[in-house]
Amino acid sequence: MRTRLVVANWKMNGSFALLDEMLSILEPLMDKTASEVVLCPPDVLLSSMKSAVEGTQIAVGAQNVHSEVSGAFTGETSAGLLQECGVQWCIVGHSERRNLFAETDEFIRSKTETLLKHGIRPILCIGESLEQREAGKHEEVVIAQLGKGLAGLAVDDQNRCVVAYEPIWAIGTGKTATPEEANSMHKIIRKELESLASPEVAEKMQILYGGSVNAENAETLLSQSEIDGALVGGASLKTAAFPQIVVAGS
């Protein structure tokens, strides 16, 4: 049985005040939900978040990391520092990083390895563009990203990874994949994991859906057999919406 995981990706949004407010609403809900909850705020909030969530069930997540452990990489953050900030999870391969910052599968793969070496669990995002879906290439694209992201990792490391299927055309657009579309893609991903890793890894791995998840559609999406949780962008900044997503289906 896979635990449901709900991850908030605040992107370059939020504030110290919003973090306090969101945590004060989430904390009392944690014993009413079966979901694990991870909040990924911008890096400057991580250290405050570490102290604020101590003793709660809410985990600290980051949105990005560099693959190198230190050095002349102005503006980047190392996995070691994330670890010091109490970071347990980190998003890698988000389509915004792939597209706006030209991150390659190889770079994403090396970030994944660095995170694992620092005891931080990677949330590997994969997903096709609208053009690729319309050309019928979505399965091929997603399978290739999955393979390049995870192939060759030791079984223990594969077991520490989570995959987030995020069709790019559904991110921040208000257009969600239908629950059936999402579920069938998740099935394809899990099947691929069987050969890429092993049936045991495939069975255990949480596969999240991301793309315009909100308080209204969360229940239906999360009730699909192959959807083990959600990666939430826009709605994770709303104190009226994110807590509802966290308790959806509980």
* Residues assigned a catalytic role: 94, 166
- Residue of the chain from 33, 63, 132, 212 that contacts ligand PEP (CB under 6 A): 212
Q: Is 229 in the site for ligand PEP (CB under 6 A)?
A: no
From CA 240, how far away is CA 114, in angstroms rounded?
36
Q: Segment near ligand PEP (CB under 6 A), from 38-46, 54-62, 109-117, 207-215?
A: 207-215
Q: Is 38 in the site for ligand PEP (CB under 6 A)?
A: no
SS3 207: strand
**Strands (E) located in 106-161:** 121-126
| φ/ψ (deg, to 5) at 144 | -65, -45
Judge residue 60's burial from the number of C-beta atoms within 10 Å of its C-beta, 0-12 exposed, 13-18 middle, 19 or more buried. Answer: buried
Rounded to a whole number of angstroms, the minimum distance from the CB of residue 131 to ligand PEP is 18
- Residue of the chain from 193, 213, 222, 245 that contacts ligand PEP (CB under 6 A): 213
Q: How does DSSP classify residue 60? A: E
Residue-level length of the chain:
250
DSSP 102-115: ---HHHHHHHHHHH
Q: Is 168 in the site for ligand PEP (CB under 6 A)?
A: no
Rounded to a whole number of angstroms, the minimum distance from the CB of residue 174 to ligand PEP is 8
Rounded to a whole number of angstroms, the minimum distance from the CB of residue 241 to ligand PEP is 10
Q: Is 172 in the site for ligand PEP (CB under 6 A)?
A: yes
From CA 216, how far away is CA 221, in angstroms rounded?
10
Judge residue 195's burial from the number of C-beta atoms within 10 Å of its C-beta, 0-12 exposed, 13-18 middle, 19 or more buried. Answer: exposed
Q: Is 166 in the site for ligand PEP (CB under 6 A)?
A: yes
Letters for 74-113 (x = contact with ligand PEP by CB under 6 A, - = none) are ----------------------------------------
Instruction: CB nearer to ligand PEP: give 53 or 164.
Output: 164
Which residues form the interface with ligand PEP (CB under 6 A)? 9, 166, 171-172, 210-213, 231-235
